[in-house]
Structure 1
Amino acid sequence: MFLSRRQLLAAAFASAALPQNAFAKTAKIITWDDLIPPGVPYSEIIAEGEIDEVNDRWKPVFDENANKLNPRLDGAYIKMPGFIVPLDQSTKGITTFILVPYAGACIHTPPPPPNQLVFVTTKTPWMSDDLWEPVWVTGLLRHQAQSTEVADTGYALVSDQIEIYEW
């Protein structure tokens, strides 16, 4: 069976009108344990830490496991739960934050190790009245160690979507 030029053009225009979500990748749901490479134990604090007087924060000293990242997740499109510690916030919302595994991490307690913290930038600012509320964050995850005024992070994620975590 052969299609005419008119039928081919009609099919091309029809497929262009389909929602782009129909072709979107499905995110792999991960947990905080997945950020640690298989066989590597959770990092331990091995000293009292040191005071960062410039940023007025306490920096714990972790063992060698703190910076070990899961190689399978570098470049993965993921969805994971966590809590937001805002870094850049305006009247339009939060555009940069650290995703942490539990409420109060980095604010009321010493930060978790870098391989348990994700530096997130958003494509759309996140508006929320309650930053103690857990969220799902979806996006492309990369290995990217960096130091912020709050903590050192091991991963970076560009977020496509943020939504309230529902049990």
Structure 2
Amino acid sequence: MLSRRTALMFLSGSVAAPNMAFGATAREIIWDDLIPPGIAYSEIIGEGDMDIENDTWNPIYDANATKLNETLDGAYIKMPGFIIPFEISADGVTDFMLVPYVGACIHTPPPPANQLVMVNTAKPWSGDLLWDPVWVTGTMRTQLQSTQLGQTGYSISADEMEVYVW
């Protein structure tokens, strides 16, 4: 039988444990890590169609484009990318899409879903820094979502952001 003191110590430890995650070191990942193991990047994007009239290439994605790396679901990660904002206020941006290269989804067809990440951050990111590459640190989730810019496969609840330094 547990004493009252032992029970309280046990319960207080279990309540404090989730808060310890904030001090955890983030696993640094790159865009290739978003592709499930065993699938090559070349297997995500097919040949596509060239729209000569509009001078654009429209990729043809197969089922591999929506396959996600489920080992990242719930992982505390840090990854680089570029910001495509959904809305900008005077304080900056809090909801945006993280993309692997400048202009993805705006000037070109969107990358496949497993190469697009929705990000929400409580602390707005300055509108003055939107063209800079960034590091985003937070908890990643795997879930297909549709947006006006393209289908995403991942989301991050960002705890921290910083400018990516080459």
Structure 1: any 5+ residue segments left out of the alignment?
1-19, 50-57
Q: How many residues align?
A: 142
State the shift of 1:92 in Å: 1.2
Equivalents in 2 of 1:22, 1:73: separation in Å? 16
Distance 1:59 1:25, change over 3 A: farther
Q: How does 1:124-135 map to 2 (within 5 A)?
A: 124-135=123-134
Aligned equivalent of 2:110: 111
State the shift of 1:21 in Å: 8.5
Equivalents in 1 of 2:69, 2:86: separation in Å? 25
Distance 1:44 1:148, change over 3 A: same
For the pair 1:120 / 2:119, whether they are aligned, the reply is yes
Q: TM-score, normalised by structure 2?
A: 0.78
State the shift of 1:163 in Å: 0.5
Q: Which amino acid aligns with 1:73?
A: L
Task: Verify the 8 A CA contact 2:81 2:135 in the aligned structure 1.
Answer: yes
User: Which of the two has greater helix per residue?
Assistant: 2
Q: Deviations over 1:78-119 (max 9, x none)?
A: 000000000121111101000000011111111100000000
Task: Verify the 8 A CA contact 1:46 1:63 in the aligned structure 2.
Answer: no
- Percent identity of paired positions between Structure 1 and Structure 2: 59
Aligned equivalent of 2:153: 154
What is the SS of the residue equivalent to 1:157? strand
Q: TM-score, normalised by structure 1?
A: 0.77
Aligned equivalent of 1:140: 139
Equivalents in 2 of 1:77, 1:35: separation in Å? 14
Aligned equivalent of 1:7: none
Task: Verify the 8 A CA contact 2:45 2:59 in the aligned structure 1.
Answer: no
RMSD of aligned C-alpha atoms?
2.4
Equivalents in 1 of 2:94, 2:58: separation in Å? 25
Q: Which amino acid aligns with 2:45?
A: E
User: Which of the two has greater strand per residue?
Assistant: 1
What is the SS of the residue equivalent to 2:127? coil
Aligned equivalent of 1:10: none
Equivalents in 1 of 2:22, 2:95: separation in Å? 27
Distance 1:141 1:23, change over 3 A: closer
State the shift of 1:72 in Å: 1.1
